[in-house]
Chain A
Amino acid sequence: MMDYILTTNALTKKFGSYKASNEVSIHVQRGDIYGLIGRNGAGKTTLMKMIGGLTHPTSGSFEITGKNGEKTEKMMPKVGILIEAPGLYPNMTAMQNLKTKAIALGIKDESYLQGLLKEVGLENTGKKKAKQFSLGMKQRLGIAMALVNQPELLILDEPINGLDPQGIAEMRQILHHLCNDRGITILISSHILDELSKVATRYGIIHEGKLLEEASKEELFARCSERLELKTNDITKTLEVLNSMGFSKIEVKDDTINIYERLNEGGQITVALAKENIMTNEIALKSDALEDYYFQLTGGQSND
């Protein structure tokens, strides 16, 4: 049985007649870095706000470590959130900001807070006020704030947005450290698919408030990876031929058969089909980037 730390059940949020989140059901396994992919306004933030307890769902529910209803509320202290911009007092130092949240939670150990600052690389900020921090530093402090309550699940909304390449690399390092070394499950959203693909182990693709697809990294990359695209005049017979040839990683989409293995055997396939009087209309080696796959799925267009 899967060990889900978070599952949402048809979670819906309506603003007037507009459904910002439309019956979204995601499944986050313990230890995952779950990437929520979606363009701006797709409903990622709304979904995260509902899970983070900032927004009341219109309908649906969610479970944390299998606890639902009132029991979910008891599990909320195990959730850390960084949604949109980090909520920091600009006139306070990094330590004072952490201390403010720590006081609210009854945490008195300053060395613990110092440790958090070290974890996100802000141990040497001293008396520098948060308003003087760079965007990357603010984001890292935001993560440290989310870690104060020792969460099992960390919700990060667009944490790499606006960061320079070095900032992005540092953030990636922090995320890997939190997941691998501290065992924190992370739900992270971004519209920078390339970056997300470097950290996430499981994905949910969300578009216009709806969850279009949920897949593991392997599954998603298999869908995006190189394949032979085959178009013939008889799909049923073609599949029989391919089966007889021992192909198993096959997917049929509309009038196209996608073959994900033995990609150098295009010639043999054509000959085998010809022997069975099947006409090959088109056979080509194709590959998608994650971005292309996303656009294909959402019916959008790439900016390229």
Chain B
Amino acid sequence: MINLIKMNLYRMMNATSTKVLAIVSALFGLMQFGILKLIADDPFNIMGSMASEMGFDSVTASTLVSNFLRSSNFLIIVAVFVVLFANAEQKCGFDKNIIGITKHRWLHPLSRFIAAVIGVTALMAITGIIGIGCSALFVNAFTFGSATAFVKTLGLTYLGTVALAGVFFFFTTAFRSAAGGVVPSLVICTGILYMIEQLLDLLVKKVAGSPKLLPTDLFLDAKFLNFNMDSGMTACLILAAVCVGYLVFSVGGSMLLTQKRDVK
């Protein structure tokens, strides 16, 4: 298992897509920082009262994590990375070299996903260090804020991103193609799925009145991307539980599919 993870990390380090996406993540962090600097400090007074309207009067570490890393744009980077990484072995047929000699096939998707999570963590760190670090250093309105809020926001953001990475990973494994992985992943990241979920909410409300549970409560993207980080502990625990649930089902599903299916 450890050797398989090492193998996946080795090929990740040698893949062009990893290097490109690391650069994209760095640029994304810089871009986010640039926008924030423009809005929050507004040195040329071009934004008027926009900064205070957007809540940038005081910029804390937790709001930066929430805005930079818990965004649709960053999720697109994560989705592209996970899909390309997960699909590479199937695309070039490399798994034919090793899958037959491994006792448990399900170790392959599991090790691949663990390596992908390490990659996602690295991308988050690049964006975070560059974007949040620069903002902390150069945005006048920055104050660190509550350490508890920072840890809570970072923890939930990380968990939610990893859970969504699991979902992207599952799509790629199930469809056995980059296109099959990218299309549903982008449907999630771009908010198209969220629109569908809202329509479903309306339909449910129309049929059942005001039920306790709505479709948006069950979908990870809706729950994660629209979560209010100021919510209480119970709401945070529910989100964490949903993330873990999605993670278990998507990675477990990928493992089951790989174990049962023939290698093409």
A146 contacts the other chain (Cβ, under 8 Å)? Answer: yes
Interface string of A69-94 (1 = CB under 8 A from B): 00001101101010111111111100
Q: A87-B92, A91-B14, A96-B14 are in contact. Are A104 and B7 (CB under 8 A)?
A: yes
B11 touches A92 (CB 8 A): yes
Among A48-56, A185-193, A211-219, A264-272, the stretch in contact with B: A48-56
A88 touches B92 (CB 8 A): yes
B3 touches A89 (CB 8 A): no
A53 touches B101 (CB 8 A): yes
User: Which residues from A are CB-within-8-Å of B262?
Assistant: 49, 54-56
- B111 (CB) vs chain A CBs: closest residue: A104
A76 to B103, CA, bound (A): 8
Q: A49-B262, A99-B10, A103-B7 are in contact. Are A54 and B100 (CB under 8 A)?
A: yes
Interface string of B10-45 (1 = CB under 8 A from A): 110011100000000000000000000000000000
Chain A, 146-183, CB within 8 A of any chain B CB? 146, 148-149
Q: How far is the CB of B107 from chain A (nearest CB, A)?
A: 10
A76 touches B101 (CB 8 A): yes
Count class of interface residues, chain B: 20 to 34
User: Which residues from A are CB-within-8-Å of B6?
Assistant: 103-104
- A51 (CB) vs chain B CBs: closest residue: B100
- With beta carbons under 8 angstroms apart, the residue of B7, B16, B103 that contacts A100 is B7
User: Which residues from A are CB-within-8-Å of B99?
Assistant: 53-54
Interface string of A39-72 (1 = CB under 8 A from B): 0000000000100111110000000000000000
A89 to B15, CA, bound (A): 9
User: Which residues from B are CB-within-8-Å of A87?
Assistant: 92-97
B98 contacts the other chain (Cβ, under 8 Å)? Answer: yes
User: Which residues from B are CB-within-8-Å of A300?
Assistant: none
A54 to B99, CA, bound (A): 7
A87 to B90, CA, bound (A): 9
Chain B, 79-137, CB within 8 A of any chain A CB? 88, 92-101, 103
User: Which residues from B are CB-within-8-Å of A83?
Assistant: 96
User: Which residues from B are CB-within-8-Å of A99?
Assistant: 10
B4 contacts the other chain (Cβ, under 8 Å)? Answer: yes
A15 to B33, CA, bound (A): 55
- With beta carbons under 8 angstroms apart, the residue of A54, A73, A91, A104 that contacts B96 is A54
A105 contacts the other chain (Cβ, under 8 Å)? Answer: yes
B141 contacts the other chain (Cβ, under 8 Å)? Answer: no
User: Which residues from B are CB-within-8-Å of A53?
Assistant: 99-101
User: Which residues from B are CB-within-8-Å of A79?
Assistant: 100-101
Q: How far is the CB of B22 from chain A (nearest CB, A)?
A: 16
B14 touches A49 (CB 8 A): no
Q: A55-B263, A73-B103, A92-B11 are in contact. Are A101 and B97 (CB under 8 A)?
A: yes
- A56 (CB) vs chain B CBs: closest residue: B262
User: Which residues from A are CB-within-8-Å of B263?
Assistant: 49, 54-55
B14 touches A92 (CB 8 A): yes
B11 touches A89 (CB 8 A): yes
Chain B, 146-183, CB within 8 A of any chain A CB? none
Q: How far is the CB of B75 from chain A (nearest CB, A)?
A: 26
- B90 (CB) vs chain A CBs: closest residue: A87
Q: A91-B14, A106-B3 are in contact. Are A77 and B97 (CB under 8 A)?
A: no
User: Which residues from A are CB-within-8-Å of B7?
Assistant: 100-101, 103-104
User: Which residues from B are CB-within-8-Å of A91?
Assistant: 14-16
A84 to B96, CA, bound (A): 10
A145 contacts the other chain (Cβ, under 8 Å)? Answer: yes
| 16 contacting pairs across A/B (C-beta < 8 A) | A52-B100, A53-B101, A54-B263, A56-B262, A77-B101, A81-B96, A85-B93, A89-B92, A90-B92, A91-B15, A92-B11, A92-B14, A100-B11, A101-B7, A104-B3, A149-B101
Excluding A74-B103, A84-B93, 14 further A-B contacts by CB distance (< 8 Å) are: A49-B262, A53-B101, A54-B99, A76-B101, A76-B103, A83-B96, A87-B92, A87-B94, A87-B95, A89-B92, A91-B14, A91-B16, A101-B97, A106-B3
Residues on B lying within 8 angstroms of A by beta carbon are 3-4, 6-7, 10-11, 14-16, 88, 92-101, 103, 260, 262-263
Residues on A lying within 8 angstroms of B by beta carbon are 49, 52-56, 73-74, 76-77, 79, 81, 83-92, 96, 99-101, 103-106, 145-146, 148-149
The 4 closest A-B pairs by CB, nearest first: A53-B100, A87-B93, A54-B263, A104-B7
